[in-house]
Amino acid sequence: SPVSTPTATTPKVKGPPMKVIEDFNSIEYPPEFLAPKARDPVTGKISYDSAFLKQFQKLCLETDEDLSAFQSIGDDSQGGHDN
Amino acid sequence: DNTVKTVFHDPQNYNVKHPLQNTWTLWFDNPGKKANAASWSQNLKEIVDVNTVEDFWGVHNNIVKVNHLEISSNYHVFKKGIRPEWEDAANANGGKFSIQFPRNRTGESINDYWLNLILAMLGEQFQYEDEICGAVVSVRKVFYRVALWIKSSEKNEKIETIGRQLKEFLNLNASLTVEFTPHGDSAAKTSENRFTI
């Protein structure tokens, strides 16, 4: 079969960095999400509260960073004893 | 298509990310039982830098959770350019707030305590954010410890505010105390600069 088998060792390819938001006022957030307060009008400092940040948890599941060296640092023997 | 799309508009094909005020470095170490100062420094490994909210979550969702780390491991999240060591210039005159969580009664909630601390730092929620250097979570046999490292160590209104905010952001059980210790002060247990909140 010509279907290729996915391999676990595919090296991560880091693309060029994506643009970041500069003008938060230009973005209209979908109504079901909290919008950030983001930039302080006086200091220009960017801040986000935790409720805003937690909304990304289920949306940003992938990374293009190679973390393979740090994915075997867990203690498997502990897995069943979380409670 | 030039439309600006955030991850909330299109989780697969977004084209703009949310910048953080600072770039943060995630470090890991597990010096094991034979630790001494030299091996500790060699053991300390930089994992990755993040400077957007999206990149932070991508990494966080793909690394081992704190409650699954081996005993004697530590994660450190510090502002880029500050090494998570007392000797770093930013830490030299500083100290840390720390909270110890008994392991048997904490379990998986350590992941939330640690996450809440990181989110407060990355989101610049501390009133004196310039004071913040970074945070550490340590896994030990009978406890977890979460620590927030700051630049100065003299007890004053600034530092006490940070300590109170830390307690608030972590939503700490009233029975847990936050202890402040100047770095390099372990010998002087009676130091006037130690205090609890």
Residue of B1, B27, B46, B62 to mutate, testing the A interface (most A Cβ within 10 Å of its Cβ): B62
Give chain B's domains with CATH numbers. 19-196 (3.30.760.10)
| Phi and psi torsions of B109, nearest 5° | -60, -15
Contacts of A57 (CB under 8 A, 6+ apart): B57, B60, B61
Which residue from B minimizes the CA distance to A16?
B15
pLDDT digits (tens, 9 = 90+) for B28-60: 998 774 555 555 556 889 999 999 999 999 999
| A–B CB contacts, 8 A cutoff, strictly below | 136
Query: In this structure, what token pair is assigned to residue A73?
Result: 């640092």
Which residue from B minimizes the CA distance to A52?
B123
Q: Is B48 on the interface with A (CB under 8 A)?
A: yes
Per the CB < 8 Å rule, is B67 touching A19? no
pLDDT digits (tens, 9 = 90+) for B99-137: 999 999 999 999 999 999 999 999 999 999 999 999 999
pLDDT digits (tens, 9 = 90+) for B134-190: 999 999 999 999 999 999 998 889 999 999 999 999 998 878 889 999 998 655 555
Residue in B21, B65, B116 closest to A50 by CB: B116
Using CA atoms, how far apart are residues B143 and B134, in angstroms rounded to an integer? 20
pLDDT digits (tens, 9 = 90+) for A7-17: 445 556 677 88
Tell me which residue of B183, B192, B194 sits closest to B93, measured CA to CA: B183
Q: Is A40 on the interface with B (CB under 8 A)?
A: no
Strand order in the sheet with B195-196: B45-52, B19-29, B74-79, B132-139, B143-150, B95-102, B179-182, B195-196
Burial class (CB in 10 A: 0-12, 13-18, 19+), B65: middle
Q: What are the CA-CA distances from residue B187 to residues A14, A34, B110, B133, B138 (Å)?
A: 47, 48, 28, 23, 21
Report the amino acid identity of residue B111. Answer: N
Q: Is A2 on the interface with B (CB under 8 A)?
A: no
Is the ipTM above a cut-off of 0.85? Answer: yes
Per the CB < 8 Å rule, is B64 touching A73? yes
Domain ranges of chain A: 28-54
Length of chain A: 83
Residue of B4, B25, B53 to mutate, testing the A interface (most A Cβ within 10 Å of its Cβ): B53
Chain B, 103 to 162: residues with Cβ < 8 Å from chain A are 107-108, 116, 119-120, 122-125, 129
